[in-house]
Chains A and B, each alone.
Chain A
Amino acid sequence: MKYIDEFRDGNVARRIATNIAAEVNPHRSYHLMEFCGGHTHAISRYGIADLLPDNVRMIHGPGCPVCVLPVGRIEYAIQLAQIPHLILCSYGDMLRIPTASGMSLQKIKAQGADVRIVYSCADAVSVAQRNPDRPVVFLAIGFETTTPPTAVAIKQAHALGLTNFSVFCNHVLTPSAISHILQSPEVRQLGLMSLDGFIGPAHVSTVIGSRPYEYFAEEFQKPVVIAGFEPLDVMQAILMLIRQLNEGRAEVENEFTRAVLPEGNVKAQLLVAEVFELRRVFEWRGLGLVPYSALRIKSCYAGFDAEQCFQIPMTSIADNKACECGAILRGVKRPQDCKIFGTVCTPENPIGSCMVSSEGACAAHYSYGRFRDASPVVKVN
């Protein structure tokens, strides 16, 4: 497959692996965080850890849109779905996230609520057009990648004069989450967690560009390499980060030049700015309250804002005590450090959100990597 196979070539991977092995300083370790779930998925699916020296450790970051949504907002969506005649449209992954009481959109659906999986928010607008006498709410989640399409859907619904369509907006912002991790006491004061550099987001960066990361590189002296989601992108980015660290540099470099410009996608940014504005504060699962880290719908589009249309109180609900999703999302713990990983919490019965989405660190480790925790496999020839 053109433009895909080239970025999954095993021979090139082994060459990069050889370079990494030759260039790492054996007397130090490298703790690199891949922010995005897409990178986490690629690392697990292609077995990239097998190609890295022992002193290069990948830390999974919070960049999984399903994982970072706090339980309170899932609970809100569940309450929305229970409004008589209402149709709740959602991306598929959201349906399985359990609340504290074990309820989920999937369970509510089985009990009769009209919850529909859509592949894009444009589909949700079509549902609203086909059902003019029923309220239709789109459960909008995601980082900067999914925000422009939501903006388009709201503008489209506005142009069509739809009065039964609204969006439950949960769009969040990547740079503020990265800042928050860098400023967390675990990283800054306590030194609990070593964090030497970042693999910067792929798809998010196509929208926001590479400039927003310059602040971290400068302020926190941490190198950032923006990388695509293909496995060779990740390998190359790891090599670039190791080179920066060895040379004492902390710069923003762009490995994903085939898609990311320094200024990003200006048209998409303008669309987002037209429809959304910053929230003063937003709760993230694992990170807690993060200032200026999310978007809400502007008052001129208030008619499309589900939080304004439906008077449901928003509550903050604590995570299950045994679940370590919070620490895992901050990179402080690994999935296998959680007591309930793979026992009580599995992809079939997820307790925490990191086990729900394939981009979540726990699901990725469970599905692709857990044989590494088992005793070595005996191979028969």
Chain B
Amino acid sequence: MHGGKIKRGYTRPLDLKNGHIEMNHGSGGRVMTQLIEQLFLAAFDNDFLRQRNDQACFSCTSGRMVIATDSHVITPLFFPGGNIGSLSVHGTINDVVMSGARPQYLAASFILEEGFPLADLKRIVDAMAQAARAAGVPIITGDTKVVERGSGDGVFITTTGIGMVPEGIHISGENAKPGDKILLSGTLGDHGIAVMSLRENLSFHTHIESDSASLHDLVATMIVTVPDIHVLRDPTRGGLATALNEIAHQSAVGMMLYEEKLPIRQQVSAACEFLGLDPLYVANEGKLIALCAPDDADQLLAAMRSHPLGSQAAIIGEVIEDSHCFVQMETRFGGKRVVDWLSGEQLPRIC
């Protein structure tokens, strides 16, 4: 017997240019570790991930904490102004901050479809890392699973975020009171139209970019100015109409919107017009609705407008008493109508 050195096995680096996701990327073996280290860890790099545990352990101060989770399944994965990666970070951070909380950490879980190009995955992961870094919210734990070709749609990403609520802040959907003013941070429908413009059977040319953005800083600015904000909500899927109907039901109030006050880009109006959609129901990913007492409204509006993500903010309506919890709108035309829950998907008119 002669003792010798055991040669370190050579592992070919992950082919991030031409490679594809294979079933063994999710099998728990060396190939999976390689994917995690060379792609996810390299991009998200932080002390928690470097420990290579299945969980992240952190200490926290006493107080109220917030947790929110969001699954992202979008088509197409890449769109003007972002991709599923940046969206999955912004979406969850925004869910956390709509409670007034400061976001602290994120967890990310990936379901990858066999055959998905690694180059695309890298673009997505890089966008996530960049979005998380820009927001100062590290991704500290995660998981990866691979499903057979045909059992997924490229990439599904679930992110979970936690945050700390500052002392004295009590923001919740049930706090709307008759008389409250309804503020919106900017233009409606940009994300939905940007994504729709790329759908296979619709494709049309537009310069509209998704508004996907993390709203933590805007919210922090708003809270400093008006700590007694009653409700915050980001009007994502289902748009402004759905978010306001949810709040109206949570708080058992009605709402009156003023159509002429709604900020909508001309390109978005035009796209909605020819697609037969209503911009009130189109998704946003970087906008928020705020409800506050009427005396605070002007101050809150000024604070929102002072922030780049709220420069086009507007007071768009008010909360009214209504046992039916209808969200109504005074149309630019001079009449009134219900702004109802969306039923099914929005569909273009036939005739």
Q: In the complex, are the beta carbons of B351 and A45 less than 8 A apart?
A: no
A50 in contact (CB, < 8 A): yes
B10 in contact (CB, < 8 A): no
CB distance from A265 to the nearest CB of B (A): 15
Give 8 A-B pairs besides A8-B332, A203-B351 with Cβ atoms closer than 8 angstroms. Answer: A48-B335, A348-B344, A377-B320, A379-B320, A380-B179, A380-B318, A380-B319, A380-B320
Stretch at the interface among B54-62, B134-142, B228-236, B266-274: B266-274
Taking CB atoms, residues of chain B closer than 8 Å to A118 are 201
Bound complex: CA A359 to CA B349 (Å):
8
6 contacts between A and B (CB under 8 A): A45-B331, A47-B336, A92-B348, A204-B351, A371-B338, A377-B326
**Contact check: which of A1, A9, A369 meets B337 at CB < 8 Å?**
A369
Bound complex: CA A19 to CA B44 (Å):
67
Bound complex: CA A153 to CA B218 (Å):
51
Taking CB atoms, residues of chain B closer than 8 Å to A44 are 337
Q: In the complex, are the beta carbons of A367 and B340 less than 8 A apart?
A: yes
B308 in contact (CB, < 8 A): no
**Contact check: which of A47, A203, A359, A375 meets B333 at CB < 8 Å?**
A47
CB distance from A129 to the nearest CB of B (A): 14
Q: Which of the listed residues A1, A91, A380 has the most CB atoms from chain B within 10 Å of its own CB? A: A380
CB distance from A10 to the nearest CB of B (A): 5
Stretch at the interface among A141-149, A181-189, A244-252: A141-149
B178 in contact (CB, < 8 A): yes
A226 in contact (CB, < 8 A): no
B322 in contact (CB, < 8 A): yes
Query: Which of A15-67 touch B at CB < 8 Å?
Result: 17, 36-38, 41, 44-51, 63-66
Taking CB atoms, residues of chain A closer than 8 Å to B349 are 38, 41, 358-359
Taking CB atoms, residues of chain A closer than 8 Å to B254 are 377
Q: In the complex, are the beta carbons of A47 and B345 less than 8 A apart?
A: no
- Size of A's binding interface in residues, CB under 8 A: 59
Q: In the complex, are the beta carbons of B320 and A47 less than 8 A apart?
A: no
Task: Using A1-B270, A378-B322, A380-B178 as known contacts, say yes or no to A13 and B350 having CB atoms under 8 A apart.
Answer: no
B315 in contact (CB, < 8 A): no
B321 in contact (CB, < 8 A): yes
**Contact check: which of A13, A119, A369, A374 meets B334 at CB < 8 Å?**
A13
**Contact check: which of A93, A123, A375 meets B201 at CB < 8 Å?**
A123
Bound complex: CA A50 to CA B331 (Å):
11
A256 in contact (CB, < 8 A): no
A347 in contact (CB, < 8 A): yes
CB distance from B232 to the nearest CB of A (A): 21
Q: In the complex, are the beta carbons of A4 and B334 less than 8 A apart?
A: no
Bound complex: CA A36 to CA B338 (Å):
21
Closest 4 CB pairs of A and B: A47-B335, A347-B343, A92-B347, A50-B335
Q: Which of the listed residues A1, A49, A141, A145 has the most CB atoms from chain B within 10 Å of its own CB? A: A1
**Contact check: which of A38, A47, A92 meets B331 at CB < 8 Å?**
A47
Task: Using A13-B334, A50-B335, A96-B344 as known contacts, say yes or no to A119 and B202 having CB atoms under 8 A apart.
Answer: yes
Task: Using A41-B349, A203-B351 as known contacts, say yes or no to A4 and B337 having CB atoms under 8 A apart.
Answer: no
Q: In the complex, are the beta carbons of B345 and A92 less than 8 A apart?
A: yes
Taking CB atoms, residues of chain A closer than 8 Å to B99 are none
B2 in contact (CB, < 8 A): no
Bound complex: CA A368 to CA B338 (Å):
4
Residues of chain B touching chain A, judged by Cβ–Cβ distance below 8 Å, are 178-179, 201-202, 254, 256, 260, 266, 269-270, 273, 318-324, 326, 328, 330-338, 340, 343-345, 347-351
Taking CB atoms, residues of chain A closer than 8 Å to B336 are 47, 50, 371
Task: Using A4-B273, A38-B351, A379-B256 as known contacts, say yes or no to A371 and B324 having CB atoms under 8 A apart.
Answer: yes
CB distance from A61 to the nearest CB of B (A): 12
A370 in contact (CB, < 8 A): yes
Q: In the complex, are the beta carbons of B326 and A371 less than 8 A apart?
A: yes
Taking CB atoms, residues of chain B closer than 8 Å to A123 are 201
Taking CB atoms, residues of chain A closer than 8 Å to B328 are 371, 377
Q: In the complex, are the beta carbons of B326 and A63 less than 8 A apart?
A: no
Task: Using A142-B350, A357-B350 as known contacts, say yes or no to A17 and B334 having CB atoms under 8 A apart.
Answer: yes
Bound complex: CA A92 to CA B201 (Å):
13
A228 in contact (CB, < 8 A): no
**Contact check: which of B330, B337, B350 meets A359 at CB < 8 Å?**
B350
Q: Please name the residue on chain A nearest to B275 by beta carbon.
A: A119
A158 in contact (CB, < 8 A): no
**Contact check: which of B319, B332, B333, B347 meets A358 at CB < 8 Å?**
B347
CB distance from B271 to the nearest CB of A (A): 10
**Contact check: which of B202, B332, B340 meets A368 at CB < 8 Å?**
B340
CB distance from B240 to the nearest CB of A (A): 15
Taking CB atoms, residues of chain A closer than 8 Å to B322 are 377-378
A14 in contact (CB, < 8 A): yes
CB distance from B188 to the nearest CB of A (A): 15
Bound complex: CA A152 to CA B330 (Å):
42
CB distance from B255 to the nearest CB of A (A): 10
**Contact check: which of B338, B347, B351 meets A367 at CB < 8 Å?**
B338
Q: Please name the residue on chain B nearest to A64 by beta carbon.
A: B351
A216 in contact (CB, < 8 A): no
A98 in contact (CB, < 8 A): no
Bound complex: CA A368 to CA B337 (Å):
5
